[in-house]
Structure 1
Amino acid sequence: MLEVTKYHGLGNDFILIDNRSSQTPLVSPEQAIKMCDRHFGIGADGVIFALPGVDNTDYTMRIFNSDGSEPQMCGNGIRCLARFLAELEGGESIGKTYRIHTLAGVISPRIEAQGQVKVDMGTPYLMAQEIPTTLGTPQDKVINQPLSVGGQSWSVTCVSMGNPHCITFVDDVAAIDLESIGPKFEHHPVFPERTNTEFIEVVRPDYLKMRVWERGAGITLACGTGACASVVAGVLTGNCARHCTVELPGGCLTIEWSVVDGRLYMTGPAEKVFTGQY
């Protein structure tokens, strides 16, 4: 039997596994798919492994999506991981900061009061080849570029937070048929590694509404890297301020794209659901 703990960040839910004794995940991608099944398994958007740190980091994070694919990073997931690590270490210490190695680089979450975690998400990648996307030339930014998806022309801006995001601003996010259009964006040929897609409604310059189709997970209630990428896209297109509340179906995140150091800072909750054996 395997000890597992479930956390969620604004409804984006994960199975957390203490993997500190090995650099190899204790669960295979195929097993992760079964664990994430909401009818025949535990049910989750992904499985997160807390592995030993490398290169002077405290820990390493790996994650398998509910379809078995492995993303570079997950914003809601790393907040959950930070709370999980604090629990493994014997209890939360407000102000404790971790240096966590991910496939998107070193990410630093800090434990805050009242179940909140503030994460230094690093700097965004903006060139087409960094996303990656074949929209535009490799060394150019992709800002308000037309893209035909599902028989409709969309104006899109692309940002990578270590994982690819395609952001489009719409009048009414509730009117988007996400289940239909999401997979068409994800698997569009201009995104060689597939993409996460965010649909954004600007309520005010400092308040955005967001719905997301996540690469490898589909419709989720929240996406931390997506919220960060959306604020970046909003600033680049003149749609929003550098400090925003982003409202997702599962709740709100506070995102700041610092004018001082160019880094993204995300603050939001992570809550424990249960611990059990699988």
Structure 2
Amino acid sequence: MTAETAQMPSRIGFRKMNGLGNDFVVLDARARDLDLTPEIVAAISNRETGIGCDQFIVLENPHGDGDVFMEIWNNTGERVEACGNATRCIGGLLMQETGKDEIAIETVAGTLRAMPGPDGLITVDMGEPRLEWHQIPLAEEIRDTRGIELQIGPIDAPILHTPAAVNMGNPHAIFFVKDAGAYNLAQIGPLLENHPMFPERANISLAEVEDRSHIILRVWERGAGLTKACGTAACAAGVAAIRKKLTDRMVRVTLPGGDLLIEWREADNHVYMTGAAEFHYEGELDLAEYAGGAA
């Protein structure tokens, strides 16, 4: 910590937001630098000792031509590349703040664009899915990522096998099953997340295709665990189902927290996600308290 940051006031305002129950603490660092550490982020994100959230979001001045740069942390204090639900929330927040009808949100994974959707919802252009093995990434070359060689359980009777692999700003493995609720995802999720096939670990989803326009999805999120909703997982599941010819190009994805509408447009190869974004409350926190007085 520099002498300059040590002299900065440690109190800062925050917002609490959620997308389909996937909740966030949002700090605005556009007017001042924040001396955040993984330990501070994890302490604030802890539901017992801090404010509590699934992901921790920091807004910074844009690094390029966007309206804002969004830094994303998991609640364990680990930086991650993308979060679709947070992108919707921040897009809605900044559209309200600026009066613009389109917001460019820079992330480590690239620039995403948020715009108004129908019935007060928010639509985000999530960009093109990455489908090659080295883009996901996988530990070895697999030419067809619609179903990779991976299983859990006995060789002759695996519990789960042959997931699709997609990168939507972060890596996803999607297992298509008859009943998404029939598996103990809390138990098998960590094993699959950390499987050697995924050098950067992976988000693990169980997808149940109801019909050509509807998927039921449960998600174990990399570094965060079971989640009520994961926007990038919904996008990845939609892409995987379309690639396997199980659904049409527009599909409703039902997560424990609610529905997302996913469209993989043939015209531009981009994935569009539409869903709700909610503001809970705002308050003020003292970074020094979460750093043991060292913020």
Q: Corresponding residue for 2:21?
A: 11
1:132 to 130, 137, 153: 137
Q: Would you say 1:146 and 2:149 are equivalent positions?
A: yes
Shift of 1:243: 0.3
Partner SS state of residue 130, structure 1: coil
Shift of 1:2: 1.9
**Aligned positions of 1:32-111 closer than 5 A:** 32-89=41-98, 93=99, 96-111=101-116
Give the Cα–Cα distance (whole angstroms) in 2 for the partners of residues 241 and 173 of structure 1.
Answer: 20
Q: Corresponding residue for 2:288?
A: none
The one-letter code sitting in structure 2 at the alignment partner of 1:44 is C
Give the Cα–Cα distance (whole angstroms) in 2 for the partners of residues 53 and 150 of structure 1.
Answer: 46
Give the Cα–Cα distance (whole angstroms) in 1 for the partners of residues 47 and 140 of structure 2.
Answer: 36
CA shift in 2, pair 1:192/1:208, >3 Å: same
Shift of 1:36: 1.1
Whether contact under 8 Å (1:199, 1:212) holds in the other structure is: yes
Whether contact under 8 Å (1:48, 1:81) holds in the other structure is: no
Shift of 1:155: 1.5
CA shift in 2, pair 1:72/1:25, >3 Å: farther
203-212 or 128-137, larger mean C-alpha shift: 128-137
Q: Corresponding residue for 1:197?
A: 204
Whether contact under 8 Å (1:36, 1:45) holds in the other structure is: yes
2:30 to 8, 20, 37: 20
CA RMSD of aligned residues (A): 1.6
CA shift in 2, pair 1:108/1:25, >3 Å: farther
Q: Corresponding residue for 2:5?
A: none
CA shift in 2, pair 1:178/1:11, >3 Å: same
Give the Cα–Cα distance (whole angstroms) in 2 for the partners of residues 70 and 83 of structure 1.
Answer: 22
For structure 1, the 5+ residue unaligned runs are none
Q: Would you say 1:179 and 2:189 are equivalent positions?
A: no
CA shift in 2, pair 1:266/1:26, >3 Å: farther
112-121 or 187-196, larger mean C-alpha shift: 112-121
Shift of 1:26: 4.8
Partner SS state of residue 85, structure 1: helix
Whether contact under 8 Å (1:16, 1:84) holds in the other structure is: no
Shift of 1:87: 4.6
Shift of 1:240: 1.4
2:122 to 84, 99, 117: 117
Partner SS state of residue 260, structure 2: strand
Deviations 1:170-219 (A, max 9, x none): 11011110110110111001100000011100011110000000011110
Q: Corresponding residue for 1:207?
A: 214
Give the Cα–Cα distance (whole angstroms) in 2 for the partners of residues 199 and 136 of structure 1.
Answer: 24
How many residue pairs get aligned? The number is 271
Give the Cα–Cα distance (whole angstroms) in 2 for the partners of residues 27 and 45 of structure 1.
Answer: 17
The one-letter code sitting in structure 2 at the alignment partner of 1:104 is A
Shift of 1:9: 0.1
Deviations 1:123-162 (A, max 9, x none): 000000000012534xx23122231225535121100012
Give the Cα–Cα distance (whole angstroms) in 2 for the partners of residues 54 and 132 of structure 1.
Answer: 26
Give the Cα–Cα distance (whole angstroms) in 2 for the partners of residues 29 and 96 of structure 1.
Answer: 34
The one-letter code sitting in structure 2 at the alignment partner of 1:158 is A
CA shift in 2, pair 1:252/1:26, >3 Å: farther
Partner SS state of residue 48, structure 2: coil
Q: Corresponding residue for 2:6?
A: none
Instruction: Give the % identical residues.
Output: 38
1:274 to 271, 277, 281: 281
Partner SS state of residue 44, structure 1: coil
Shift of 1:54: 1.9
List structure 1 segments (4+ residues) > 6 angstroms apart after TM superposition.
Answer: none
The one-letter code sitting in structure 2 at the alignment partner of 1:149 is I
